[in-house]
Amino acid sequence: MTRNDSRHARLQLKADIFLIGRTSPPMVPFRPLLRAVALVFIAALVLSPAPLRAAAPAAVTLTLGDRTVTTRQFTADGIPVVPRWTAPLPPGNPPAPATWPLVRSAEHVTVWRPARRDEGGYNHYAALIHHAGQFYALWANHPLGEDAPGQRVLFAVSADGRRWTTPRELFAAPGPYRRAGEEGLALKPDRWVATPAGLYAVTYVHGTPVYPVARRVEPDGRLGPVFLLRPLPAGALRPRFAPDLAVAPAEAAAIRQYYVDHDLVSWWSHVAGEGVPARASDGAALMEPFSYRSVHGPVLCLRSAQGADTKPRQRNRLYVSFPTAEGGWSIPQPTNIPDAPSRAQALRLPDGRVVLVGNQIATRFDQAQHLRRDPLTLALSPDGETFDRVFALRAGAPGKHRWAGITGRGIGFSYPSALVHDGALFILYSVNKEEIALSRVPLAALE
């Protein structure tokens, strides 16, 4: 082949490549071959979508106590997720309160705002009940910080939920006031209980093997003696206000039955040996369980105590558990219910719907968000199985605390206690863990 022949062949090859897909003479030798290759490549893409097209995750079926759950949702590290939320996650980090429709007909009142630091600049763990024509509110109080030794319990009373009495001591400090992290007893309230014998307040003693105590509150405000709900755990210490603490069998039995009849578990049952699991299927440490009844039966939910540097990291999901045949609870499984994280509560409304009150405001899962608990939200479910609507109950918490140096406080509206009375939803909660407030929501506003 001469030099001119070689140059001509190269030019012809370039022309053939350029003419692929264009109108060109049929005598181009490379076109049929390249067209065949292209057809084979296209067929391979269509018939073999992976890895260019991600396959939908395979469904898995879980047996959780008395429930069978099928899911295609998984955490970032592959743990199956129980689907119980269909409302969209809010955008942003942190989310904008305007993401959720605000319940504009809600009324907000202050139950107690300490005037002086020594009255206790930490106020949290609120509990509410309506009994014998009056509202009763209780909460934990401390001058130095959250869950510090000496933490006591206060209470106030109201006839209408708007005007409240000056708080009184319900359970005195169990020992001297000390800073968080130091040794000593602290009280963490659980709830009010109404039995045929009267109204009782239940709190748990911490800083020792954890155990519950209770006392009766008379209609005129007089307080009965403090007693145990079960025998004192081995090695447990008694609070200084009750050195002769003992079980009151009849009253204790009636209080325990109240929990059963109302599908309740204690907020502290996971650390008090009361049969509630404290670890999830993914290894997460769990805390502050609450229970309610859905259309299919009892449901137990817990929040994660995980941080950003633990394994697994904080998932910003609530966890769920169901009853077992043995009378206990299944190992909790992560859900897709978002969580700030914070404590929540669920209860059935008169029309059969279930409302979840809390801080369901996480914008993404499995990335260890720790958000301000603002706004306080109301999530609605037609049956207690899937929550599909969310409202903002109250937003715009004060951006700073009134007193510095009190530990364990954050910004926001949190740790609600809710009940239905006279056509309205009443919610008691803390504001910045510094004061106690109550909101009233007409049930008609949740239609």
Tell me what pLDDT residue 41 has: 46
**pLDDT higher than threshold 50 for residue 22:** no
pLDDT above 90: residue 375 = yes
Residue 31, pLDDT score:
52
Distance of CA 37 to the CA centre of its chain: 57
Q: Which position has the higher pLDDT, 77 or 15?
A: 77
The conformation of residue 4, written as its DSSP 8-state character, comes to H
Listed residue (175, 239, 253) closest to 204, CA to CA: 239
Beta pairing class for 198-206 and 186-195: antiparallel
368: region left, alpha or beta (phi > 0 left; psi from -120 to 50 alpha): left
Q: Which of 306, 445, 427 is nearest to 375 (CA)?
A: 427
- Answer yes or no: is pLDDT of 9 > 70: no
pLDDT tens by residue, 390-445: 999 999 999 999 999 999 999 999 999 999 999 999 999 999 999 999 999 999 99
Q: For 115-124, how does the pLDDT look when each residue is reduced to its tens digit (9 = 90+)?
A: 999 999 999 9
| Whether residue 37 has pLDDT greater than 80 | no
How would you classify the pairing of strands 168-171 and 152-158? Answer: antiparallel
Band the pLDDT of 54: cuts 50, 70, 90.
low
* Between residues 13 and 267, the one the model is more confident about: 267
Each residue's pLDDT tens digit, 143-182: 999 999 999 999 999 999 999 999 999 999 999 999 999 9
Tokens 């009324």 correspond to what residue?
A: 107
Go through 91-103 and write b for each residue having 16 or more CB atoms within 10 A of its CB, e for each that does not.
eeeebebebbeeb
Question: Rounded distance, CA 414 to CA 139, Å?
Answer: 12
pLDDT reading at 296 higher than 80: yes
DSSP string, 307-349: -TTSSSPP--EEEEE-B-TTSSBPPPEEEEEE-SS---EEEE-
Q: What is the pLDDT of residues 298-333, one digit of tens each?
A: 999 999 999 989 999 999 999 999 999 999 999 999
Pairing of strands 389-394, 134-142: unpaired
CB 412 within 8 A of CB 393: no
pLDDT of residue 324: 97
Tell me the C-alpha distance between 447 and 285, whole Å: 36
pLDDT band for position 33 (cuts 50, 70, 90): very low
- Contact predicate 5/13, CB 8 Å: no
Per-residue model confidence (pLDDT) at position 57: 85
Average pLDDT over residues 27-37: 47
Global pTM value: 0.88
Residue 47 CB neighbours (<10 A): 7
Is the pLDDT score of 87 beyond 90?
Answer: yes
For residue 77, give the amino acid letter. D
How many CA atoms are closer than 13 Å to the CA of 412, on its beta-carbon side? Answer: 26
**Tokens representing residue 135 in the block:** 């509202």
Q: What is the mean pLDDT of the chain?
A: 90
CA gap 322, 301 in Å, rounded:
9
Q: What is residue 53's predicted lDDT score, i.e. its pLDDT?
A: 54
Report d(CA 417, CA 47) in Å as an integer.
Answer: 56
Please determine, for residue 366, whether its predicted confidence score (pLDDT) is greater than 60. yes
Q: Which residue has the tokens 């370039």?
A: 14
- The proportion of the chain whose per-residue pLDDT surpasses 90, expressed as a percent, equals 84
Three-state secondary structure call for residue 180:
coil
Per-residue pLDDT at 97: 75
- Domains within the chain, CATH numbers bracketed: 3-47 (no CATH), 73-446 (2.120.10.10)
- Output the CA torsion 121→162→267→151 (10° steps): 30
pLDDT band of 30, cuts 50, 70, 90: very low
Pick the range with the lowest mean pLDDT from 53-62, 225-234, 262-271: 53-62
pLDDT above 70 coverage of the chain, percent: 88
**C-alpha count within 13 angstroms, C-beta hemisphere, residue 241:** 23
Going by pLDDT thresholds of 50, 70 and 90, the confidence category of residue 44 is very low
Question: Is the confidence at residue 98, as pLDDT, over 60?
Answer: yes
pLDDT (mean) for 350-375: 96
Rounded CA gap, 416 and 412, in Å? 12
Confidence of residue 355 (pLDDT cuts 50, 70, 90): very high
Q: How confident is the model at residue 129 (pLDDT cuts 50, 70, 90)?
A: very high
Tell me: pLDDT of 292 over 70: yes
Can you give the pLDDT at residue 35? 57
